[in-house]
Structure 1
């Protein structure tokens, strides 16, 4: 009589406790791996503590104020002047929620047997990480594999240094004593657009300085146009095709010098000019991990670096800077390490959302890909204002757009601009990931009335009758 030998699972050390790190840890521990996470700030990383959770909580407060101010069109009467934004209370709430979310993740990790080390990490060999704790203790941790998920830090300009009082990066916004009277936002990408939208809805005057001709360069042009119109209606001052040369403090405010010789003054300034990877000084090059000129870690479609046994995930890799992408990369890395079935990462399946008002959600093939000739598609778009549920909610902007492969009718991409687009896009994300036909969406029951009804209606309009 023979007994089966239990083969131990590979052990893994994870550097970074953000979405790429903690999601990987939960998967690895679930399947029996010995897992250690080294995180220098707090579990959840920047995404939970200083970026995604705080910013989206701020945006939720702003959107609530927007809905209240629009309530009179629904027959509700109140004194609009009393709807004020208490930024101290808003900030206290969002920081509390960030801390609570961090604690929830920590408890989940510990419940699954993951060891957590709070400290600095440095690779000393391809399977050895040196951890230096906050009290100065040094420990060398050896494991079968290492995952680097160190994230990114806000980019700073030599002529515009954040001080946390009047000039901010996107990590520093949550200690204000009063709502900015006039916030100057430098940068028209996703981060800049989100904060410009949020603070305008909270009651600030907002000026957005954009080096590009349009908002959200690279995003769906129809969606960007809706947001531009929304900003114009709300009174956001957009200065396009202009760069911020410098930002300096003046009495009770800031002065932003612009290319071309002009300037704009405000009470506060937010710099939203991208991020730089947290890869310096952690031993990557010393152990043979290839990095790009920008400092990002080179990886393949299953998150492997150039060094066997070392994986990487998240913003430090230079792929799409999304928490969901980081988490997916981390899960892919662990599944590959454990020998599980792995679907390589594909940017053509990524769903993303911009938390402006209205929200802008996209998945799969984009308008730019179609314009380049890479994809031959049929597309159809229906304004959200025709949706009965939208009318009930006083929603008069936005749309649903679907891209289907020409000839086959399979859904390859989509755009939703609407309240809660971040939730509505899931139906299109399922369709893209699993190669559903437009008829699959058209033939699926939706609730009447509901915003999802427009997704089904677009799909029905794309049906092609078979001729016999």
Structure 2
């Protein structure tokens, strides 16, 4: 069997693998990228972030048309169609694949399609789609194989009415009703999507509140607006049994409740894609969720083998995964890396309205006994929000009452994931550059949503 040698081999072409491969190649290393799918991009592009956000955008466009004063009465028979929206997602996916493949080609990264497995600590065997096998030898490896939906053995995912976040993208009709089990980011986003399609949605949460790691005020707002969209929330519940037939699915909960719907979407947890890689034989620990244990430099028990992205667990965000790949590459090249960018990263959740959060929450500051103040700007009082009609939302700034240092920024409303980056840029500064005074004394364009920072800063200063 012929063996090819590279300075580094990256396994997986999602955000983590992309960040690692391009950084390594740009510094002059010979790099091979192994991807099991014929198209690059990983789960993020094909089954995760991109298709779900396209769906959400399409639903939002439909909602805007339906509620526009210019269109009222003109669209009485317009009904959203889930399969049509999926077709729009495929167009975006194709564009993303083309852009990423061009980037690899320009950087000189050799892309190899096939399933990878470690033969020894410096050799990979790749089984190509045609059944051919080749070996890749390298000084360094980066495992960026991502994750897939967790599937409990007692749920029949072979049944066409029982879905997970991958197979929901194969749905060929708009359901009348759907039950979503799991109220994390994926569950909440799909609850918003289907509610926007006038589907009856049941959202079952295994915890006390939605997205409990976020600021309580923000999650309270999310719960309220999901309910106004017709979503029925069930908190502190766990499943006993899921049964399906040709007419629908019944979810039996341990509390005794039975929820019936046309379809059932499992959205509770993900599993790292490590099966078959041969990591355990190399002494690399993999936990019960298929996730690889790494140190602060993203090194595994084999120091020349790194792991990044969803396969290492939290925070499991595309943005963070890309940076992790870059940082692992920097450590390979220089023996050092800079973690400042991944300590305070924004969380973007594309519900309707969307959420973005950065830094500490009120709960965390209270537990840490930090003397903090709050400044708020409600969207309904902003001229730009009144013009666009997106008046639901709030920008909330948490700051130190004595130093005025910004400690956290939490936003709920239209374009929250965009708005947060203004605050992120200021929080990344040091000293007096990162204080509430910056927003209070800065001139913002009027009318803009960015003006919310000035309004919130002035509100906070007025309260201390």
1:239 positional shift: 2.0
Whole-angstrom CA distance in 2 between matches of 1:287 and 1:31: 28
- Aligned residue for 2:155, secondary structure, equals coil
Deviation at 1:115, TM superposition (A): 0.3
CA contact (8 A) 2:376 2:459 kept: no
- Aligned match of 2:351: 356
Question: Structure 1 CA distance, aligned partners of 2:463 and 2:53?
Answer: 43
Does structure 1 residue 54 correspond to structure 2 residue 33? no
Q: In the alignment, is the contact (CA less than 8 A) between 2:393 and 2:413 conserved in 1?
A: yes
Does residue 1:253 correspond to 2:251, yes or no? no
Are residues 1:163 and 2:158 paired? yes
Deviations 1:272-294 (A, max 9, x none): 00101112221212223233454
In the other structure, the counterpart of 1:5 is none
Question: What corresponds to 1:272 in structure 2?
Answer: 267
- Give unmatched runs, 5+ long, in structure 2: 1-5
2:3 maps to none
Cα 1:390–1:164 change in 2 (3 A) is farther
The equivalent position to 1:64 in structure 2, one of 61, 66, 71, is 61
User: CA distance change for structure 1 residues 134 and 251 in 2, over 3 Å: closer, same or farther?
Assistant: closer
Shift of 1:70: 2.2
Q: Give the corresponding residue for 2:442.
A: 444
Q: SS where residue 451 of structure 1 aligns?
A: coil
Partner of 2:8: 12
After superposition, the Cα gap between the structure-2 partners of 1:45 and 1:124, relative to the gap in structure 1 and judged at 3 Å, is same
Q: 1:209-237: per-residue Cα shift (whole Å, max 9, x none)?
A: 12223222222211111111111211111
After superposing the two structures, state which structure 1 stretch, 275-284 or 189-198, moved more.
275-284
- Higher mean C-alpha displacement, 285-294 vs 273-282: 285-294
Matched, 1:23 2:27: no
Which 5+ residue runs of structure 1 have no aligned equivalent?
Answer: 1-9
Structure 1 residue 96 displacement after superposition: 2.7
Q: Aligned in 2, Cα 1:46/1:181: closer, same or farther, shift over 3 Å? A: same
Checking the alignment, whether the CA contact within 8 Å between 1:301 and 1:346 is kept in structure 2 is no
Partner residue of 2:397 out of 386, 402, 409: 402
Instruction: Output the CA distance in 1 between the equivalents of 2:15 and 2:438.
Output: 32
Inter-partner Cα distance in structure 2 for 1:355 and 1:268: 22
- How far off is 1:430 after superposition? 1.3
Indicate the residue corresponding to 1:327 in structure 2: 322
The answer for the alignment partner of 2:455 in structure 1 is: 457
Q: TM-score, normalised by structure 1?
A: 0.92
1:244 CA displacement: 2.4
* CA distance 1:303–1:434, shift in 2 (3 Å): farther
Query: CA 1:340–1:287 in 2, change beyond 3 Å: closer, same or farther?
Result: closer
Q: Could you report, residue by residue, the CA deviation over 1:147-184 in whole angstroms, capped at 9, with x for unpaired residues?
A: 01111110112332223621110011122232010011
Residues 35-91 of structure 1 show CA distances to partners (whole Å, capped at 9, x for unaligned) of 11111123110000111111110111111122222212xx54333432311222111
1:296 to 2:291 alignment: yes
| Structural RMSD (CA) | 2.1
Correspondence 1:432 to 2:430: no
- Structure 2 length-normalised TM: 0.93
CA distance in 2 between counterparts of 1:31 and 1:164 reads 48
State the match for 1:36 in structure 2. Answer: 32
Aligned residue-pair number: 455
Q: Quote the offset at 1:116 in angstroms.
A: 0.5
**1:219 counterpart = 2:214:** yes
In the aligned structure 2, how far is the partner of 1:29 from the partner of 1:416? 37
Query: Is residue 150 from structure 1 mapped to residue 148 from structure 2 by the alignment?
Result: no
Offset of 1:432 from its aligned partner? 2.1
